[in-house]
Structure 1
Amino acid sequence: MSDENAAQGDMPEIEVPVTETPEVDPVEALAAENAELKDKLLRTVAEMENLRKRTERDVSDTRSYAIAGFARDMLSATDALSRALVVIPAETRETAEGTLKSLIEGIELAERETQRLLAKHGVKRIEAAGQKFDPHKHQAMFEVPNPEVPEGTVVQVVQEGFAIGERVLRPAMVGVAKGGSASAAPAPEAGDDGVDKSA
């Protein structure tokens, strides 16, 4: 035991440096905390405003487009009524009597009423005939050689297209003009080597 005490006595004492904490001015500390809380408050207010705007936009979209699926299905029924009227020859329509006349008038009335109700709920027909082909609104079914109109012009509508608000429910199925005159259609851009680079 005396050897252990002697060994401990030989060890030097270690001094731990004491770091003094600088005194913080309480006014500066409160000012910094105030600035931090103000920043958090402003960020929270901005986030809440963004959330409010996003929610309003979602509610507006839901109101506008909630019936899109139903309207798309109703277009099939409207098409069926239109096809039923198309197959009846004009002569038969004019000379029809009795039950046949009532049937034709009933189909016409049902088709008009369906179109009216769709329009009432924001479903509108896409104008296609004579318009420049727009892949967002039109679906090209075939090309029609027609040098009298500019290339890319819709010259025939096979099936009407419809939109609700800014969204297309069904694109118009169309025939598009091909081979318009040089003055009607822009010339292709040719490079220095004579190769058409417009594609």
Structure 2
Amino acid sequence: MSDDNDNEVPVHVKSTEKDTNDLEPEQLSEEQNSLEELQRLLEKEQQKTQDLENKLKYALADFQNLSRKTQSEIENGINSKVSQFMLDFLNIYDDFKRAKDAFAKNEGNIEGLDSIVKNMDSLLEKNNVSPIEALGEIFDPNLHEAISVINDSKLDDSTITKEIRKGYISQNRVIRPSLVEISKKQGEDK
């Protein structure tokens, strides 16, 4: 029998009755500590999850704001290009109308020119470009650009007496201000 015992690993067995009674409060305390530790870990992970959810919400909000801003910048860029095109077109339009008026003064046939002007007018209307009515109005620096002043005691100050170049507006944006002459009451110094 001694040969069989040489190959065996010694196992220490404690008496269950005595040890259970002695270790039960200890085991209970360890279990309680372990449970508290697990609860702390759970709360910590829940906080991490909440933080990540908040970061995700902020990132999504930032993305949506960036998307709106980008869309707005694209629209503004397009509007700017359209406005620049219209400004260039309006210069040609004004030249053409002056040429037509000069041709009419020389008693030339202007029917063809009138047709072209009507087409240009409809193009402007189609693109929501309308002239700024200035003559007789009070000067508005947002719509008009004063290039001369006349003394006139019959008119209120800053009344537009002459429109030198027509101004245009599109979608509440001034494409080109009107060039105007304004009145000033005589005897007043400003």
Q: TM-score, normalised by structure 1?
A: 0.66
- What is the aligned-residue identity percentage? 26
Task: Summarize deviations over 1:154-193 as a string: whole Å, max 9, x none.
Answer: 1210110112333322211101111189xxxxxx9xxxxx
Give the distance between the partners of 2:104 and 2:88, measured in 1 at CA: 27
8 Å contact from structure 1 (residues 136, 171) kept in 2 = yes
**Which 5+ residue runs of structure 2 have no aligned equivalent?**
1-36
Contact 1:81 1:110 in 2 (8 A): no
Question: Could you tell me which residue of structure 2 aligns to residue 130 of structure 1?
Answer: 136
Deviation at 1:72, TM superposition (A): 1.4
How many residues are paired up?
154
Structure 2 counterpart of 1:105 = 111
The answer for the alignment partner of 1:68 in structure 2 is 83
* Counterpart in the other structure of 1:49: 64
Contact 1:125 1:163 in 2 (8 A): yes
Matched with 1:175 is 181
Q: Does 1:78 align with 2:130?
A: no
Q: Which of 146, 149, 156 is the aligned partner of 2:155? A: 149
Q: Report the alpha carbon displacement of residue 89 of structure 1 after superposing the two structures with TM.
A: 5.3
1:86-137 deviation line (CA, Å, top 9, x unaligned): 2245683xxxxxxx42xx1111221221122122123221221222212222
User: 36, 44, 50: which one pairs with 1:35?
Assistant: 50
- Cα RMSD between the aligned structures? 2.8
* In structure 2, distance between residues paired with 1:146 and 1:112: 37
Structure number having the greater helix percentage:
2
Which residue identity lines up with residue 146 of structure 1 in the other structure? D
Q: Distance in 2 between matches of 1:83 and 1:171?
A: 19
Q: Which residue of 1 aligns with 2:125?
A: 119
Query: SS in structure 1 opposite 2:162?
Result: strand
Residue aligning to 1:26:
41
Greater Rg over alpha carbons, structure: 2
Query: Which amino acid counterpart does residue 149 of structure 2 have in structure 1?
Result: E
Runs of 4+ in structure 1 off by over 6 angstroms are none
Unpaired stretches in structure 1, ≥5 consecutive residues: 1-22, 93-99, 182-187, 189-195
Deviation at 1:38, TM superposition (A): 1.8
Aligned to 1:184: none
Contact 1:158 1:173 in 2 (8 A): yes
Amino acid at match of 1:110: I
Corresponding residue for residue 167 of structure 2? 161
Local SS of the residue matching 1:141: strand
TM-score (norm 2): 0.69
